[in-house]
């Protein structure tokens, strides 16, 4: 009886140990991964935000121009959609920079 208990205890502590090792391993992997990602993201993020700002204004302007062209209501839609494009540019770059850094 006593021997059986001893074996069970041993098994439990082995399980605990392997769990601990797994935890440490997982932590290490995720830390390594984070460090790897950090190397690139600063530079890359700057490019990402700038191009998002630019592209949103461009898309807004072209949607507005197209609507004006088809409904011949120059300059109403182009003004409206340029403003929307600008807002969405700020909004998108705010969203993507929020993922990157905590304000």
Partner 1 sequence: MSEKHSPLDQFSINRIYEMKIGDIDVSLTNSSVMMIAVLVILNIFLIYSTRKKSVIPGRLQSLAEMSYEMIYNTTRDNLGKEGVRFFPLVYSLFMFILLCNMLGLVPYSFTVTSHIIVTFALAFGIFLLATVLGFILHGHKYLRLFLPKGVPIFLAPLLVPIEIVSYISRPISLAVRLAANMMAGHTMIKVFAGFVVALGIFGIAPFLFIVLLYILETLIAFLQAYVFAVLTCLYLSDSFHPEH
Q: Could you give the residue ranges of the DSSP H alpha helices within 1-103?
A: 2-71, 76-100
Is 40 one of the binding residues for partner 1 (CB under 8 A)? yes
Answer for the pair 76, 39: CB distance below 8 angstroms, yes or no. Answer: no
Q: Are 56 and 82 in contact (CB under 8 A)?
A: no
Stretch that binds partner 1, among 10-18, 20-28, 53-61, 70-78 (CB under 8 A): 53-61
Give backbone dihedrals phi and psi of 49, rounded to 5 degrees, phi first: -65, -45
Considering only 2, 4, 35, 43, the residue that binds partner 1 (CB under 8 A) is: 43
Dist. CA 19–CA 65, nearest whole Å: 62
Binding residue count for partner 1, defined by CB under 8 A: 24
Q: Is 26 in the site for partner 1 (CB under 8 A)?
A: no
Q: With CB under 8 A as the contact rule, which of the stretches 1-9, 15-23, 56-64, 67-75 interacts with partner 1?
A: 56-64
Give residue 15's region: left, alpha or beta (phi > 0; psi -120 to 50).
alpha
Residue in 7, 14, 24, 58 binding partner 1, rule: CB under 8 A: 58
What residues line the site for partner 1 (CB under 8 A)?
33, 40, 43-44, 47-48, 50-52, 54-56, 58-60, 63, 81, 84-85, 87-89, 91-92
């Amino acid at each position: 009886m006593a021997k059986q208990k001893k074996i069970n205890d041993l098994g439990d502590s082995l399980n605990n140990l392997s769990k601990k090792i797994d935890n440490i391993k997982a932590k290490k992997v995720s830390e390594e991964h984070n460090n790897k990602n950090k190397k690139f993201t600063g530079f890359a993020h700057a490019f990402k935000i700038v191009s998002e700002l630019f592209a949103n204004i461009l898309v807004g302007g072209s949607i507005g121009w197209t609507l004006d062209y088809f409904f011949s209501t120059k300059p109403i839609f182009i003004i409206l959609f340029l403003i929307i494009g600008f807002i969405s540019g700020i909004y998108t770059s705010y969203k993507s920079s929020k993922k990157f850094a905590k304000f």
